[in-house]
Structure 1
Amino acid sequence: MAKRANGEGSVRQRSNGRWEGRVSHIDPVTDERKSASVYAATATECRKKLRAVRQRIEEGAPAKDAPDTVGSWLAQWRESSLAASDRKATTKSLYGTLSRKHLEGTPIGGKRLDRLKASDVEALIVELRGNGLADSTVRGVYTVLRQALDVAVRDGLLAVNPAAKVKRPSVARQEARYLSAADVARLLDAARGLRYYVAVLVMASTGLRRGEVAGLLWSDVDLDKGELTVRHTLSRVDRELVLTEPKTERSRRRVPLHAGAVSAIKGWRKQQLQERLAAGDQWTDTGVVFASEFGTMVDPRNLLRTVELAARKAGIEGVGAHTMRHSAAVAWLESGVHIKAAADLLGHSSISITGDLYGHTSDDTARAAIDGLGAVLGL
């Protein structure tokens, strides 16, 4: 038996020539007495490893990291900590999908927790980018891994989170794709006669997200005052349509309605009452404004399809999920609406988000600004 160093535990040479260090300690999670062992080729190296274990114990960390694989831990985290969290249902569904698709069944998922390094996380980011994934997806995968490993640290399976040592992947800001007011008017004209024309009209005139429009209840709309209140968003979660509260407090907002939109919604309400009578006992009373012919909720993607169909009819290209929303925002800003008012209407948490997305001007607006200044300067 080698001499026992003060506070280091015991160090001895095994029959195979290797050295073993052992220390007794109280487990910080279970409060039970346990022992931890380390092994090395030399006594000096063994004592060095044993001192590292003792330091972890004194800092309240587990003596050694757990040998579970990253993938097995992620699956456990997904079924327990993630499921029990107060995140939105859509966020839980997204995180679960990212974990299963990009982490659990991949090479990094096969690594042991106690052998995972920050460089492994960096290699994962490089690999994901090399596979052509969007910046937002790469960041999402990193976020899932880091949060799951945070819980592993909390539960005493890891001393430190290697993902926390890696800088969060950046997402390149892209200016929003938008249509001119004239093109939006053309699109709306082409949408007349389509079932969800009025929903598209509301999107175009208020800047609401498609999920917010699809999630509108009649109790959220006050046609006498000419306003609506955003209290819900409709999303598809695990193949089911689910009404949830907006993600932030700023997203819960009152939005005025133009007289033309009020008139269109009144016409839609009359149509819905007729459909309710025709459906009889087959009607489902969900209370949503833009319901199907039988009262059921409508997937927000159906509103997008209506926009895309109208755009094709009008010969307008490059129309996407948020084109109506972006077009409304740009129209407001270019007509002189203060950026704070635009941010409030859009439900942005800060005006910096509005500025980043819509901090551009059209060629006509830029020309008018230059000409106006030139006139004042007498040029």
Structure 2
Amino acid sequence: MATREGSTYKRCMCRNSETGRAYGACCPKLKRKDGSYNPGHGHWAFQYELPRTTDGKRRQARRMGMASQEEAAKDLAQVKALLEVADGDAEVEVQVADLIQWALKDRQPLPDLEEVRKRVGAGVDARTQTPTVAVWLAAWLKGKPDLAEGTRASYMGHIRKYLIPHLGKRRVDRLQSRHIEAMFDRIEEANVHILECRESDDTKVKASVRGQRVISLATKHRIRATLRSALTDAVRNPEVAVTVNVASHARLPSCPRKKPLAWTPDRVRQWEKDGTVPGEVMVWTPAQTRAFLEHARKYRWLYPLFHLIAAKGLRRGEAVGLPWSNTRLTDGQVDIRVQVVQLAWETVTSTPKSTAGQRTITLDTDTVRVLRAWKRFQNEERLKAGEEWVDSGLVFTRQDGSGWHPAQVSDWFLRISRAAGLPPITLHGLRHGAASLSLAAGTDVKVVSAELGHATTHFTQDTYQTVFPDVAKAAAEATAALLRGGPAVVRTPVP
């Protein structure tokens, strides 16, 4: 019989030939004549009387089918140790007993002692089930209803493509930094495979990776940042029983900020010779930007948009989503309060995700003149179109008054820059160029940072201060003048 001390015993499945009942622990074959157990017959078991259920019913912890008495005694000791964690608290005893009973019923290992102790110590119901990474990420994202649509789409992509396939089945509290590092190792192996297939002479091999993209180091850092954010909330949640954010300890090579490079004459000659693009982020010189805008004048419905980005450094989504109601030409100011975010091909209009992104920029006289002329032309076209005109209220529209899709604007930018014979940059490179031009013209970095919507002046200065070689050359000559004993005058080149 079971007692509060519990017991181990041996039994078998033999049945009495006369009654048909199982012998259980009374089978004569279980023991030798000297009273010792027969090692070749039957299996070991343990039993222990658990605290009653919440409705007062008696219950036992019992497990059978173990190979040795030592194994049975070990499990019995585990049951006792688990109940001792309650330290006399009747409510916690019931919770721990429930855990034990569930494990035995499902033929699972007994609960981990340290894990139960951690939950009880944190004041959490011991029966709380720690979620897997996949379950936690889904709950975490669902609990953030105010996320910007672009940010949500980014998180969802990281979760669906990488975090769940590689880590989803692991329990959150058992996730380790080495598991995360192993995920990035496998991502890098996939990168190598894609690159090798692209270089293959076999068209079928090349086709096998068509549409697959190499995951950059910057993207890996963003994937880790998504997991780190989710685990930060797990650490704060006492019911999850996670004490360390292992994503913060997962190692990745550092990812230095990609600084823009200008298309200097030497770089342009090399590009014309063999197509070499020397950096990931390229910007045009002032002369090249002027050449682009001159060529873009032929495209009446796009020129004002490109002019504004080139002059004031708006992001693509900010320019595409700019309404006339936020554009004050008399004051020469534009309020950046909305942006159009592209999610796959779909678009969503939202506010800039950072406080710094919501800003007011001041227009120069040339840009005001361009926008005034554009507004007159747009009004004329609206009158011609009549009822067919789409009243979007946007500054930059297509011929029917509807807004531009961000991808279409990027496509047209590439077409026009190619037609102008200019070295390649992205549309975002036009924003980079505007920042560099402002600093090269001597504009205070605080003003440039604020108008670009950067969170800090350090980012602005560190990224753009030395883009144009002429600026660095002027500073170098001023330093040399000091060594010669002459006046150190820095003459900033006029863009």
Category of TM-score, reference length = shorter chain: 0.7 to 0.9
Name the CA distance, whole Å, in 2 between partners of 1:116 and 1:99: 15
Aligned AA for 1:81? G
Structure 2 residue 420 is the aligned partner of structure 1 residue 314: yes
Pairs within 5 Å for 1:334-353 = 334-353=440-459
Match of 2:95 in 1: 34
Whole-Å separation in 2 of the counterparts to 1:139 and 1:225:
42
CA shift in 2, pair 1:37/1:271, >3 Å: same
Give the aligned partner of residue 138 of structure 1.
Answer: 220
CA deviation vs aligned residue, 1:205-232 (integer Å, no higher than 9, x gap): 1111111111111011111122212111
Of residues 230-239 and 259-268 in structure 1, the stretch that sits farther from structure 2 once superposed is: 230-239
How do 1:290-369 residues align onto structure 2 when only pairs under 5 Å count?
290-369=396-475
Shift of 1:243: 1.9
Residue among 240, 245, 251 paired with 1:157: 240
2:162 to 93, 102, 120: 102
| Aligned counterpart in structure 1 of residue 151 of structure 2, from 91, 95, 115 | 91
186-195 or 306-315, larger mean C-alpha shift = 306-315
* Greater radius of gyration (CA): 2
Please give the alpha-carbon distance, in whole angstroms, between the structure 2 residues aligned to 1:208 and 1:250.
13
How many residue pairs end up in the alignment? 361
Give the SS at the match of 1:247: coil
Is 2:227–2:247's contact at 8 Å kept on the other side of the alignment? Answer: no
Residue in structure 2 matching 1:122, options 161, 181, 184: 181
Q: 1:209 to 1:51 in 2, by over 3 A?
A: closer
3-state SS of 2:361 partner: strand
**Would you say the 8 A contact 2:259–2:464 is kept in 1?**
yes
* 8 Å CA contact 1:108, 1:120 repeated in 2: yes
Q: What is the CA–CA distance in structure 2 between the aligned matches of 1:349 and 1:308, rounded to whole Å?
A: 29
Separation of aligned partners in 1, 2:291 and 2:93: 73
1:134 corresponds to which letter in structure 2? S
Aligned counterpart for 2:120 among listed residues 27, 50, 57: 57
Is the 2:340–2:348 Cα contact (8 Å) retained in structure 1?
yes
Residue type of the alignment partner of 1:138: K
Partner of 2:292: 187
Q: How many Å apart are 1:361 and its aligned residue?
A: 4.4
Return the offset for 1:109.
1.9
Deviation digits for residues 135-188 of structure 1 (CA, Å, limit 9, x no counterpart): 231122222223334445527234335534525754321102221100000011
Q: Say whether residues 1:171 and 2:230 are aligned partners.
A: no
Query: Does the 8 Å CA contact 1:70/1:113 hold for their aligned counterparts?
Result: yes
Which of the residues 133, 141, 145 maps onto 1:70? 133
Q: Equivalent residue for 1:111? A: 170
TM-score (norm 2): 0.65
1:81 aligned residue: 143
- Using the size of structure 1 for normalisation, the TM-score is 0.83
| Deviation of the 1:329 alpha carbon | 1.2
Instruction: For residue 118 of structure 1, report the CA deviation from its aligned partner.
Output: 2.5
Q: 1:282 aligns with which of 346, 364, 388?
A: 388
Q: How does 1:156-235 map to 2 (within 5 A)?
A: 156-167=239-250, 169=252, 170-176=254-260, 177-194=282-299, 195-235=301-341
Alpha-carbon contact 1:65-1:159 (below 8 Å) kept = no
Which sections of structure 1, spanning at least 5 residues, go unmatched? 40-45
Deviation at 1:103, TM superposition (A): 2.1
CA shift in 2, pair 1:362/1:151, >3 Å: closer
Contact 2:119–2:126 (8 Å) recurs in 1: yes
Q: For structure 2, list consecutive stretches of 5 or more residues without a partner in the other structure.
A: 7-49, 52-60, 104-109, 192-213, 261-281, 486-495
How far did 1:59 drift?
A: 2.2
1:124 alignment partner AA: M
**Hey, what does 2:377 align to over in structure 1?**
271
Mapped partners of 1:206, 1:165: distance in 2: 37
**Letter paired with 1:159:** V
Taking structure 1 as reference, are residues 159 and 61 closer, same or farther at Cα in structure 2, changes over 3 Å only? farther
Q: Distance in 2 between matches of 1:374 and 1:117?
A: 55
- The C-alpha deviation readout for 1:247-296, integer Å capped at 9, x for no partner, is 22222222222222222212221222233233333333221111222222
The Cα of 1:197 is off from its aligned counterpart by 0.9
Whether the aligned pair in 1 keeps the contact of 2:342 and 2:348 (CA below 8 Å) is yes
2:150 is paired with a residue whose SS is helix
CA RMSD, 1 decimal:
3.3
Whole-Å Cα distance in 2 between the matches of residues 61 and 163 of structure 1? Answer: 22
Q: What is the 5 A alignment of 1:8-47?
A: 14-15=63-64, 16=66, 17-18=71-72, 19=75, 20-21=78-79, 22-23=82-83, 34-35=95-96, 36-37=99-100
> Which AA in structure 1 matches 2:134?
G
Within 5 A, what are the aligned runs for 1:222-261? 222-237=328-343, 239-261=345-367
Distance between the aligned counterparts of 1:67 and 1:371, measured in 2?
65
Secondary structure (helix, strand or coil) at the match of 1:225 reads coil
Q: 1:165/1:95 Cα in 2 relative to 1: closer, same or farther (>3 Å)?
A: closer
Decide whether the 8 Å contact of 2:218 with 2:255 is kept in 1.
yes
Give 1:171's aligned amino acid: C
Superimposed CA distance per residue, residues 298-324 of structure 1 (whole angstroms, 9 cap, x where no aligned partner): 122222223212211221123113111
Cα distance in 2 for residues equivalent to 1:371 and 1:208: 33
CA contact (8 A) 1:197 1:306 kept: no
